[in-house]
Amino acid sequence: MNLMSTSKPLTALIADDEEGPREQLRTALVRLWPELQIVAASVHGVDAWDDFLEHEPTICFLDIRMPGLTGIEVASRMAATANPPHVVFVTAFGDHALSAFDAGAVDYVMKPVDDARLGQAIARLKARLQTATPSLAAPAAADLQALLKQLLPAAAPAKSRLIQASLGREVKMIAPEDVIYFESDNRYTRVVYEGGEALIRTPLKELLAQLDTEQFWQVHRSVLVNSRHIATALRVDENTMQLTLKGREEKLPVSRQFQGLFKGQ
């Protein structure tokens, strides 16, 4: 299967918290790979993850050092979705991860971005896109996940912060481990915890940067669930999945992008 010949356009996301490098990379990509459509230029890791869920780009250029979520954390989340992108990290000279990237699961370019080096990365991406087949996609994603798992401890800041929720005149301090799930709408995030529930104004995408991703799984754009409280994942039909929770009656939706979390063994 030749992915370059399909009707689906090649799309890319750029993420860098510094405007100068972000625009330099965007300009270089427009010049060196004009057929590539840049669908998002994210200003930090949390926005990069949100933009990825919205646009599902083919390729992601991620700065490693970003506030909120690092590029490695964002890539780790992407690798666990149904359609993981090809990843290129943008990094400063001497970054701890450079030797690991040489393993080949991902590529990297260094700041300031050089046309010759970016051209090499583009050539590698085009070769992967030309040869990728469904049978090869899964091992590639597995290689990426394994690499990122090694890099996460060194790149990720400490997580777990008490959640403060206003309940009348008092401020309730909720430990993350006591939360069963979070559910967001346009204005508030509902926190369902052992003993009750509360509303907070913190958007779900900001909570993602505060919580331990090994414990809290995003299963929908509006739902984060504590994996310790998941009882079953129920496939309703080919495109629909729901979670049941231990000791609770409600069911939580699982969107298509996150159904790969529940493959079974």
Q: In the predicted model, is pLDDT for residue 139 greater than 60? A: no
Q: In the predicted model, is pLDDT for residue 140 greater than 60? A: no
Contact at 8 Å (CB) between 153 and 193?
A: no
Q: Which range among 20-34, 104-118, 123-137 has the greatest average pLDDT? A: 20-34
Q: How confident is the model at residue 98, as a pLDDT? A: 61
Q: In the predicted model, is pLDDT for residue 250 greater than 50? A: yes
Across the range 82-101, mean pLDDT stands at 75
Query: Percent of the chain, pLDDT > 90?
Result: 52
Q: In the predicted model, is pLDDT for residue 112 greater than 70? A: yes
From the list 27, 45, 142, the residue with the least C-alpha distance to 89 is 45
Q: In the predicted model, is pLDDT for residue 159 greater than 70? A: no
Reading the block at residue 247, the tokens are 């000791």
Q: Could you give phi then psi for residue 68, rounded to 5 degrees?
A: 85, -85
Asked whether the CA dihedral 33, 39, 43, 48 is positive or negative, the reply is: negative
Q: In the predicted model, is pLDDT for residue 141 greater than 90? A: no
Q: Which pLDDT band holds residue 73 (cuts at 50, 70, 90)?
A: confident
Q: How confident is the model at residue 161, as a pLDDT? A: 77
Q: In the predicted model, is pLDDT for residue 103 greater than 60? A: no
Query: In terms of residues, how long is the chain?
Result: 265
Q: In the predicted model, is pLDDT for residue 265 greater than 60? A: no
Give dist(CA 180, CA 228) in Å, integer.
Answer: 8
Q: In the predicted model, is pLDDT for residue 37 greater than 70? A: yes
From the list 71, 69, 74, 72, the residue with the least C-alpha distance to 206 is 69
Q: Which pLDDT band holds residue 143 (cuts at 50, 70, 90)?
A: low
Q: How confident is the model at residue 106, as a pLDDT? A: 73
Q: How confident is the model at residue 138, as a pLDDT? A: 42
Specify the DSSP class assigned to residue 133. Answer: -
DSSP string, 40-84: EEESSHHHHHHHHHHH--SEEEEESS-SSS-HHHHHHHHHTSSSP
Other residues' Cβ atoms within 10 Å of the Cβ of residue 26: 17
Q: Which pLDDT band holds residue 260 (cuts at 50, 70, 90)?
A: confident
From the list 225, 226, 215, the residue with the least C-alpha distance to 184 is 225
Give dist(CA 125, CA 7) in Å, integer.
Answer: 18
Give dist(CA 141, CA 206) in Å, integer.
Answer: 26
Q: How confident is the model at residue 2, as a pLDDT? A: 45
Q: How confident is the model at residue 102, as a pLDDT? A: 59
Q: In the predicted model, is pLDDT for residue 57 greater than 90? A: yes
More confident residue, 109 or 13: 13
Q: How confident is the model at residue 126, as a pLDDT? A: 93
